[in-house]
Every structure is written in C-alpha cells, then in structure tokens.
Amino acid sequence: MLKLRWPARPPSAGKSHRGETRWFTQRLVETSPLRAADPRTKLALALGASLAVMLPLPRLGLFLAGYVLLVAWARLLPEVGRHLWRARWVLGLLFVVDFWLVGPELALTISLRVALLTGVFALFFSTTTPRELGLALEALRLPYRYAFSLTLALASLSLLEEEWQAIREAQAARGVQPGRGLRELWRQAGDLVAFTVPAIVLTTRRAWNATEAAYARGFDSPHRRPYQSLRLSRLDYALLGVCGAGLAVLFWGGRFLP
C-alpha cells in the first residue's frame, strides 16, 4: 500500500530565482523554515498572534519583540516589511487621528496592533498554500464543503488577477485605456464596461467549470477521504510549546510584568 507523507517543501509552479512561488497576491517563500511546519501549527501561531492585540502597550511591545525574532528566523522580514509598507498610509492615518483625538499612548497602541495583524497575514500566507490550508481545516473537523469553498476562493484569486491583466492588455490593444485620475475615470466610465463585463463572464464560467469538476470527483461523497494526511513533527511541538508558553506568561504573568 502506498503511503503518502507530508512534503516539507512540496513542488509548485511559478517559482522564482529567489525560491518564491506566487499564489493570489501573496508570494510563497519556499526557503522559509516554516514551510516544513504543519499548517495547523502555523494557523495556531497566527491565531495566537491575533489574540495578542488585546495586550496592553508594555506587554504588546514584548510580544512584538519576540514576534520579530520569529519572523527573522523564518526569513520573512522582507515579506512582512512589504506588507507594512503597503499599509503605511493606513497606519499613519490611524496614528495621527488617535494622537489628535485621544493621546500618544492610544495612538501607538492602535498602530502597533494593526501592524501586528498585517504581519500575521504575511507570516501565514507566505508559508502556506491553499491546499495546505484546506487540509488543516479538514483536520480541525471543519466540514469539507466549507473547507473546499474557502480553499477554492483563495486559489482562484491569482487566476482572477491573471484574467484581469489579460483583459486590460487586450482592451489596451484596442485603444481602451482606464483613466488614472478621478476626472478621467468619470469621463471614461462607459469604457469601464469593456473591462468589467468580460471579467464577470470569465469568472462565472470558471466557477461553473470548478463546480462540475468538483462533483465529478465526488464532492458530495459521504465516504471521501483526503489523499494526504497531516502529522505534527518536532518542529511543530517546539513552535507550539515556545509560543504557547510566551503567550501564557504575557497574559497571566501580571505579577511579574508591567
């Protein structure tokens, strides 16, 4: 009987010379040590980091210091920095508004919390594929219908992005260019139909094809089983133990921490 093992770094298409694979709008960093971790472990780390936003400012600073060390060990500092740079205007606006209306302490706390949530997104999706996320959700007893729908939605984002780019190039070859300013967009509102209608048609067609393919492969079968299984390794137990102990100290160590 053939036994399938969970690959530490499964092969995937679209690799770059830096060991990165792109899916939807996120780059999958194949060289990260977290690629070898179980997706359930990475999901637990992401949920734990999301809960850390409730910590007060001194403990939040301690958690962020440990989180930066984890990101540096996982070789994800460029990815986290790229996400934070994209959110720079949101973070700056939140800081200015809170500083003006309330005070500097709240402004710093809110900005750090939003930055942490942004980094959590980069940590998880930079090392986890949609299929791995689906396996983790199934292992957590989520009904297969919902796990498959979420996985398919995430995996389809990259295809939608490619189709939208193809539509833009095709329409540009025909002389249709979307306006860049507000005035140009208002004047060329009629030309936007040339972009949206093909996108809706292609998306509907792809969704219909995906539905037919899923039912042809036994989507509603009551006896279906995944062809891959997850198993925690020593790396997973180490990550869960260290991060869990750190969160426990930060949440319940009030006598020793500020």
Residue 122 lies in a domain: yes
Domain identity same for 121 and 34:
yes
What φ, ψ does residue 8 adopt, rounded to 5°? -65, -40
Could you tell me if 25 and 116 lie in one domain? yes
Q: Which regions in the chain score pLDDT beneath 50? A: 1-18, 23-25
Q: How many structural domains comprise the chain?
A: 2
Rounded to an integer, what distance in angstroms lies between the CA atom of residue 105 and that of residue 109? 6
Same domain, 114 and 147: no
The overall pTM is greater than 0.75:
no
pLDDT at 96: 92
Residues 118 and 176 in one domain: no
The contacts of residue 249 (CB under 8 Å, 6+ apart) are 256, 257
What pLDDT is stored for residue 1 in this prediction? Answer: 35
- Same domain, yes or no, for 236 and 200? no
Phi and psi for 154 in degrees, rounded to 5? -70, -40
Q: What is the distance between the terminal CA atoms of the chain, rounded to a whole angstrom?
A: 57
Q: Let me know whether 123 and 234 are in one domain.
A: yes
Residues 71 and 104 in one domain: yes
Over residues 173-211, the pLDDT tens digits come to 776 665 555 555 555 656 666 667 777 777 778 777 877
Q: What is the pLDDT of residue 179?
A: 54
Closest CA to 71 of 237, 234, 239: 239
Query: Looking at the structure, do residues 89 and 122 belong to the same domain, yes or no?
Result: yes
228 contacts 4 by C-beta, under 8 angstroms: yes
Q: Are residues 124 and 27 in the same domain?
A: yes
Residues 27 and 107 in one domain: yes
Full domain range(s) for residue 98: 20-128+230-252
> Residue 9 has what pLDDT?
41
